Structure 1
Amino acid sequence: MFSSVKKLFTKASQNYSLEQALLAYDTEEYELAISLFESLARDRTPKALYYLGTCYFWGLGTESNQEKGLRLFIAAAEQGYCQAQIELGYIYRHGYGVTADCKTSLQWYERAQATGNPDAIAEVAHCYEYGEGVDQNLTKALELYADAAEGGNAIAQFTLASFYTKGIEVEYDPITAFYWFKRAADQDFADAYIHVAASYARGEGVGTDLNKAISWYAKAAEHGDAVAQNNMGYYYTTGTGVVQDEEKATFWYYHAAKQGHAIAQYNLAERYRIGSDGEKKLTEAAYLYLESAMQSDKDAQYRMAMCYKFGEGVEKNLEQFVYWIEEAARQGQQAAIDEINTYITPEIPQQPVPETDSTILE
């Protein structure tokens, strides 16, 4: 009787200590967490072993000791602790503190998969999709992604949607694609935001809804998606679905352009050239036109040619003018074609020399 009570008391005490340790970990009080996890690890508590391993392996609250961290992960994983098995799969996939080994990575992921964990299933699906540690098998990958997606894994939901968008191993199906993109987006998987937005904007897989499209584009833009940022710039420039706002338009074009988005670079350059915010910035405009032109944007190439022709933001340069106007014209930019035509003189047919009577010359 006394023994049973003691065991119950000990277990309750362990659970309380584990809760304290996890609270310290979650609040980033890593030194306290390590102390508590160390105590629990002596009893081989799998969860404590895993979190202690995380602290040592990644250097949280202590100097990084990947060898010790790895031993702790393995100790937890061998007891069937799923998160440790997934962590080992990740470590061996990327070669952190060990020699990268896709087969060993897959083995750990598969051990975690056996528990039915959606995150582990998604990782195994990834291995089959890209042929990591196993022969590539897109059919198998699709099947596993579907299982993981149903289990709530956001990455699997996003990837499954991409399969339906691209028609990989399934028929192209925008309705099913939208369903899974939306499921992922609702879990705050940021890469899905732009796809949900585009679906609402184009009416692909769902009814057209400009307000919802802009709402999702805004979320994507806030998370750094350059396409979404450029689109938000357009909406604020034109007042489409929002109150027209030149300052916000410039703000979003700027952030997209800073990421190298060619269309945004051109759009921002146009604003600087015409002075949309009240001041012309020809030097900045020329710089952005050039950045965009070098990415083969034909409108930027035309504008860059005009900069060199008139010396706007750069010194006049006939050779550069000819180069960029021809580049733009090659891509069918009509203004560039018209510009070239003004400089080409129509050929005048050569007139035949009339025959002369040699007797007259004599």
Structure 2
Amino acid sequence: MGVNTTPIKSNVIIIGLCIIVFYYYGSASRPKNDDVIVGSEVISGREITLKELMGNAKNGDAKSQNDLGLLYERGWHVDKDYTKSFYWYAKSAEQGFKMAQYNLGIAYTYGKGVDVNFDKAVEWYKKAAKQGVIKAQINLGNLYISGHGVPVDYKEAMRYFMVAADQKDTLAIYNIAKMHSDGLGVKKDISEAVSWYQRAVDLGSMSAKNSLALLYAQGAGNLPQDRAKAVSLIRSSACQGYPVAQNNLGLLYAEGGKEVPKNTIQAYAWFSVSLFNGVEGAKKSIDSITGQLTSQELSEANKLASKYKIKYAFPINEDDAYKSKTECRYP
């Protein structure tokens, strides 16, 4: 399911390769038709008509109930309705369907169709995590760091992240790197953090590329300062759809320098796709750069931004390694 997984993220804002770090926690409606085929790109493993799916869900099929909940949550083939998505997730989760248990945890975390309730979120995440749902394991780790629904417990957070990391999950590996970088439950060790970030980057992690770029720009830990490599990492991350890297790339184009020549049209386009993908701070950057553009340049920048919003959209399934083996390959 492509809903927020509340990973610990290190958002890197680059200004002339001077970098500020802060934290943040990473559908179009389709025509409704009972006979429409709900394809495998929407619900994994099968193709089925919406009418059949609804019938199966009403007859108690747990997978169909979860899939129907997903359609209502996303507004795919039906009107978006969080109340109905929660209803069907709950029906499925009560039968022990692991992804529905995770989805119910998400609903309680973000108040989708129900009031926010972290105690309930933890309860359902634990059930899903016990059945091996990696995203549930990561979310539990994050809640043990934030203290929502459970007492703050860095060791327990690390335990959940390690379980997921053993399955080569890039966000779990990224979170372990952040814990070493910040000294959460472990001795602060930048060199150890670099090792974990690099492991995630090797698996294609867009979030780890952005954070590793920070360390290369600074020459932190055991890394030599390498601004060219930092820019290369940011470009790859931005290409994959990572909103913070896209904003960073816009800043590099806006300021200009040896590694990235100044280009206000490119800056505008990257700020625009970053805002489109969820970085609200990019709006100020857009306003600032707009004043540097002629009317003709602004028209060109908007056309480019429209293309980028399609080409560099944040992946709907929130795959942290999206396109890492194709056009966004690094190095």
Same fold, judged at TM 0.5 (above)? yes
The aligned length equals: 243
**Correspondence for 1:217:** 234
**Correspondence for 1:113:** 129
Q: Distance in 1 between matches of 2:112 and 2:208?
A: 28
Q: Distance in 1 between matches of 2:75 and 2:282?
A: 33
Matches within 5 A, 1:150-299: 150-186=166-202, 189-205=205-221, 207-208=223-224, 209-221=226-238, 223-225=242-244, 226-232=247-253, 237-240=256-259, 245-246=261-262, 248=263, 251-252=266-267, 259-260=283-284
Q: Distance in 2 between matches of 1:25 and 1:250?
A: 36
8 Å CA contact 1:220, 1:228 repeated in 2: no
Identical-residue share of aligned pairs (%)? 22
Q: Distance in 1 between matches of 2:252 and 2:73?
A: 42
Specify every segment of 5 or more residues in structure 2 that has no aligned partner in the other structure, as ranges: 1-36, 272-280, 295-331
Taking a change above 3 Å as real, the CA distance of residues 126 and 239 of structure 1, as seen in their structure-2 partners, is: closer
Q: TM-score of the superposition, structure 2-length normalised?
A: 0.60
Taking a change above 3 Å as real, the CA distance of residues 51 and 187 of structure 1, as seen in their structure-2 partners, is: farther
Computing the radius of gyration from Cα coordinates, the structure with the larger value is: 1
- Is structure 2 residue 82 aligned with structure 1 residue 82? no
Q: TM-score of the superposition, structure 1-length normalised?
A: 0.56
Q: Distance in 2 between matches of 1:67 and 1:224?
A: 29
- Which deviates more, 202-211 or 44-53? 202-211
Which of the two has greater helix per residue? 1
After superposition, the CA RMSD in angstroms is: 3.7
Partner amino acid, structure 2, of 1:212: K
Partner amino acid, structure 1, of 2:236: K
Partner amino acid, structure 2, of 1:230: L
Matches within 5 A, 1:90-109: 90-109=106-125
Q: Distance in 2 between matches of 1:69 and 1:224?
A: 27
Structure 2 residue matching 1:54: 3-state secondary structure: helix
8 Å CA contact 2:86, 2:112 repeated in 1: no
After TM superposition, give the deviation of residue 181 of structure 1 in Å.
Answer: 2.5
Taking a change above 3 Å as real, the CA distance of residues 219 and 113 of structure 1, as seen in their structure-2 partners, is: same
Q: Distance in 2 between matches of 1:228 and 1:55?
A: 34
Structure 2 residue matching 1:44: 3-state secondary structure: coil
Specify every segment of 5 or more residues in structure 1 that has no aligned partner in the other structure, as ranges: 1-19, 278-362
Structure 2 residue matching 1:25: 3-state secondary structure: coil
Q: Distance in 2 between matches of 1:224 and 1:93?
A: 22
After TM superposition, give the deviation of residue 87 of structure 1 in Å.
Answer: 0.5
Taking a change above 3 Å as real, the CA distance of residues 61 and 187 of structure 1, as seen in their structure-2 partners, is: farther
8 Å CA contact 2:109, 2:116 repeated in 1: yes
Aligned to 1:59, which of 75, 78, 98? 75
Deviations 1:284-323 (A, max 9, x none): xxxxxxxxxxxxxxxxxxxxxxxxxxxxxxxxxxxxxxxx
Q: Distance in 1 between matches of 2:248 and 2:79?
A: 41
